[in-house]
Amino acid sequence: MKITNVEVWQEDYQLVEPYTIAYETFTKAPQVFVRIENNKGISGYGCASPDLFVTGETTTQIFNVLKKHGDEVLIGKDPFIINRHRYSMQKNMKDFPGARAAVEMALYDMLGKHCHLPVWRLLGGYRKSIKTCMTIGIKPLDETIAAVNDKVKEGFLALKIKGGADVEEDIEKIMKVREAVGPKIEIRFDANQGYDVNETMHFVQATQKANLSIIEQPVGKMRHEDLVTLTKHSEVPIMADETLIGLMDAFKIARNGLADMVNIKLMKCGGITEATQINAVARSAGLSAMVGCMDELALGISAGLHFALAHRNVNIADLDSHLEIIGDPTAAAVIFRDGHLFPSAKPGFGYDP
């Protein structure tokens, strides 16, 4: 079997509403699609949705690097020697993890369709669904309360509240959110590097009664000593997000005790295989892992979901961006029900137009 065609294109999708985090406000979700076809007529699909602040790449750069190198890496090759293609991409697309993730996604999608199996089963399989949170961006207090109430009514069992711009406002917001949703809903908090150590510890102490489950990336991604301090002294588990891009970062986090947990995103690390290696490092160090996302369509969310479903240690999910994107053509690839995310019953990642 040989790869006969590689197609790359860009699309922009509007968000249901803009959302703000500590360093940026987002209004749309630009995507780069990849379609890889083989001589048996099977097509595999992938997509990339990078964050310049996190991965250092734009959708235009991803499009250009895939157009430049996609054919030479893939055309005429066996589509199922995925590791060999990964190493070739590492050489040609080293600084573009989103591009590598999209190609690997398309190759795994093709493999699943060829085998008539969903990818999570091909990866070994562990569970059939996973609880996911819904992320609430930085909003005024009254809008935040309205939003969390709506999401609980929609069936979410976990909420992630964004903050990091004003610690006192964040404290008030978290306490009001807990009051609004009651004791059974899980609440996570993400400061997106907005705090220093003193602000973080003040936040932890002031929100004790809110029973937070996670504080995600409270300080700057390179402030390793601060992360060590917080991990040692915070009563709430500290999760590394922006500090973790690739495999070597996972090793540094594990070796130096920078966090209690790690947030693995396929767009950050370059795909499922690298994510699996990162998870192995985390597991060996006793760190639990969450699978997260950028502003991804359901196709990208599906790839993260299938990765999580195959690995016991990836027991937390933040896979919700597709629910806030208007006109997602891949929406049927995943199913949200009763607070959990389920894969489509279709082979591959569940998308085939």
Q: What is the pLDDT of residues 278-310, one digit of tens each?
A: 999 999 999 999 999 999 999 999 999 999 999
Considering the domain boundaries, does residue 223 fall inside one? yes
Give pLDDT, residue 22.
75
Of 116, 151, 179, the residue that ends a domain is: 116
pLDDT band with cut points at 50, 70 and 90 for residue 20 = confident
Of 95, 116, 137, the residue that ends a domain is: 116
- CATH number (domain holding residue 100): 3.30.390.10
The pLDDT of residue 334 is above 80: yes
Residues 307-331 have a mean pLDDT of: 97
Residues 234 and 306 in one domain: yes
79, containing H or E segment: none
What's the pLDDT tens digit per position in 109-136? 999 999 999 999 999 999 999 999 999 9
Considering the domain boundaries, does residue 202 fall inside one? yes
> CB–CB of 50/267 below 8 Å?
yes
pLDDT band with cut points at 50, 70 and 90 for residue 28 = very high
Considering the domain boundaries, does residue 40 fall inside one? yes
351, containing H or E segment: none
> CB–CB of 31/297 below 8 Å?
yes
- CATH number (domain holding residue 236): 3.20.20.120
Which positions ≥6 away from 336 have C-beta within 8 Å? 132, 155, 323, 342
Residues 185 and 170 in one domain: yes
The pLDDT of residue 23 is above 80: no
Full DSSP string of 177-194: HHHHH-SSSEEEEE-TT-
Residues 163 and 91 in one domain: no
Distance CA 307, CA 310 (A): 5
> CB–CB of 308/302 below 8 Å?
no
Residues 157 and 98 in one domain: no
Residues 23-42 have a mean pLDDT of: 93
Give pLDDT, residue 335.
98
Considering the domain boundaries, does residue 84 fall inside one? yes
Which positions ≥6 away from 151 have C-beta within 8 Å? 134, 136, 159
Residues 221 and 288 in one domain: yes
pLDDT band with cut points at 50, 70 and 90 for residue 241 = very high
Buried/exposed 101-115: b ≥16 CB within 10 Å, e otherwise: bbbbbbbbbbbbbbe
Minimal CA–CA distance to 22: which of 249, 294, 202, 220?
220
Q: Which domain holds residue 68?
A: 3-116
Considering the domain boundaries, does residue 353 fall inside one? no
Assigned token pair, 170? 């964040």
Assigned token pair, 112? 């699943």
> CB–CB of 348/108 below 8 Å?
yes
pLDDT band with cut points at 50, 70 and 90 for residue 92 = confident
Phi, psi (degrees; rounded to nearest 5) at 227: -65, -40
Strand partners, 9: 33
How many CA within 13 A on the CB side of residue 201? 11
Give pLDDT, residue 129.
98
Of 96, 116, 136, the residue that ends a domain is: 116
pLDDT band with cut points at 50, 70 and 90 for residue 237 = very high
Mean pLDDT of the chain: 96
Residues 72 and 154 in one domain: no
Give catalytic residues, as residue numbers: 162, 190, 216, 241, 265
How many independent structural domains does the chain possess?
A: 2
Residues 86 and 203 in one domain: no
What's the pLDDT tens digit per position in 171-208? 999 999 999 999 999 999 999 999 999 999 999 999 99
Write down how long the chain is. Answer: 353
> CB–CB of 310/327 below 8 Å?
no
Instruction: Tell me the whole-structure pTM to 2 decimals.
Output: 0.96
Cβ-in-10-Å burial (0-12, 13-18, 19+) of 83 comes to: exposed
Considering the domain boundaries, does residue 106 fall inside one? yes
pLDDT band with cut points at 50, 70 and 90 for residue 53 = confident
User: Helix, strand or coil for residue 117?
Assistant: coil
98, containing H or E segment: helix 97-115
Q: Dihedral angle at the C-alpha atoms of 310, 191, 323, 277, nearest 10 degrees? A: -20
Give pLDDT, residue 238.
98
Residues 161 and 79 in one domain: no
Give pLDDT, residue 121.
98
Q: Sign of torsion, CA 304 340 29 194? A: negative
Which positions ≥6 away from 205 have C-beta within 8 Å? none
Residues 13-17 have a mean pLDDT of: 94
Residues 135 and 214 in one domain: yes
Residues 13 and 106 in one domain: yes
Residues 73 and 210 in one domain: no
pLDDT band with cut points at 50, 70 and 90 for residue 155 = very high
Assigned token pair, 287? 């760190």
Considering the domain boundaries, does residue 163 fall inside one? yes
Full DSSP string of 290-347: EE--SS--HHHHHHHHHHHHT-TTEEEE---GGGGBTT-TTGGGEEEETTEEEE-SSS
How many CA within 13 A on the CB side of residue 96? 27
Residues 93 and 155 in one domain: no
Considering the domain boundaries, does residue 349 fall inside one? no
